[in-house]
Structure 1
Amino acid sequence: MTDRRTLLLTAAAALAAPALARAQYTAEQFGGEAQPDFSRRNTSSFRMIDWRDHFDTLGVATIIADTRSRALHFWSGDGSDYRLYPTSVPMSEELTRRGYSEIVRKKVAPSWTPTASMRERDPDLPVTIEGGDPGNPLGTHAMYLDWPAYLIHGTHDTRKIGRRSSSGCIGLYNEKIAELYALTPIGAQVRLI
């Protein structure tokens, strides 16, 4: 009986060892500061990326929205502030736009008007939803890109974060978009990858 119990405990420990090893904190990923290794533990594969792979300078601020890992990266203009946010991303490749843009306008309590293609997909959509309405898919804050109808915005539906659920926009939890909104000036450079 004791040998069987020992064998079972040894097998359980062996199975748990890889998971414990993956849960280690890595300093080199986060500029020398120990943080959880999200790239191995999180199904969205959060990983720190380098803005220099996408831009020559930080400009007034830099945002990179990674549609594959469903993460938004923010750097302040002087590089002293880096933040990583989970996001929702477009629900299909046809709705996904990639490339360079910038923040051209910001709005607290934005109203929402579905585009013609959204209304074509779902004719039951309302003509518009005013800001502040809990049914508004733009949440509490929106930052508009220089591409028509593309935004970085909040959402009241927290189930959408981490999923392919938008009609082209990048969505964040309302409390996270409020934080990002306060940090991001008009003219911030943006890249969707």
Structure 2
Amino acid sequence: MPNDRIIVDLSDRSLYLLDGSNRVIRGFPVGIGKMLTQTPHGEFTIINKQLNPGGPFGVLWMGLSKPHYGIHGTNNPSSIGKEVSHGCIRMFNSDVLTLSSLVPIHTRVTIRP
């Protein structure tokens, strides 16, 4: 939906999809950046999507407007809910596919502490 947006709440390691009225439509657990490579805070947008990007990125990559950062699946599902990444937002593969089907490119992403 065009007015939907994503909020990533680092403190509870969750990603929320909100509708145009700021109501939570879906919530997902996420893995976030570790102490030395923390997930950046701020306002971003999804700029691209790539199926099967290879490596540790699971089944899908959604690139953010901050270069080298994205929301992606993982080949290590036990990392979800932990501070383990190099700053990206990790999701279960099934969750990132669901999210990707619900949000278009240019969706706003707010990452808050």
Please say whether Structure 1 and Structure 2 have the same fold, judged by a TM-score greater than 0.5: yes
Closer, same or farther: CA 59–99 of 1 in aligned 2, 3 Å: farther
Aligned partner (choices 28, 34, 45) of residue 102 of structure 1: 45
| C-alpha distance in structure 2 between counterparts of 1:178 and 1:143, whole Å | 10
Relative contact order, CA 8 A, sep 6+: which one is greater?
2
Amino acid at match of 2:30: T
Identity of aligned residues (%): 32
Whole-angstrom CA distance in 1 between matches of 2:64 and 2:80: 20
Q: Which runs of 4+ in 1 moved over 4 A?
A: 77-81
Q: How far does residue 81 in structure 1 lie from its aligned partner after superposition?
A: 6.7
Query: Does 1:174 pair with 2:101?
Result: no
Q: Is the aligned partner of 1:91 residue 2:34?
A: yes
Q: CA-atom RMSD, angstroms? A: 2.0
Q: Shift of the alpha carbon at 1:167?
A: 0.2
| Higher helix content, 1 or 2 | 1
- Give the Å deviation of 1:95: 2.5
Larger fraction in strand: 2
Which of these residues, 130, 144, 148, is aligned with residue 67 of structure 2? 148
1:72-93 residue CA offsets vs partner (Å, 9 max, x unmatched): 0012447677000000010116
Question: Where in structure 2 are the equivalents of 1:27-106 lying within 5 Å?
Answer: 60-77=3-20, 82-92=25-35, 94-106=37-49
Secondary structure at the residue paired with 2:81?
A: coil
Provide the C-alpha distance between the structure 1 equivalents of 2:34 and 2:23, rounded to a whole number of angstroms: 33
Q: TM-score, normalised by structure 2?
A: 0.90
For residues 68 and 47 of structure 2, what CA distance do their matches in structure 1 show?
12
Show structure 2 runs of 5+ residues with no match: none
Out of 77, 82, 98, the residue aligned to residue 158 of structure 1 is: 77
Quote the Cα distance in structure 2 between the aligned partners of 1:63 and 1:150. Answer: 15
Q: The residue matched to 1:177 in structure 2 has which SS?
A: helix
Letter in 2 for 1:100: E
1:84-141 superposed Cα distances (whole Å, 9 cap, x missing partner): 000001011653310000011111111xxxxxxxxxxxxxxxxxxxx3xxxx211001
Distance 1:157 1:79, change over 3 A: same
Gaps of 5+ in 1: 1-57, 111-130
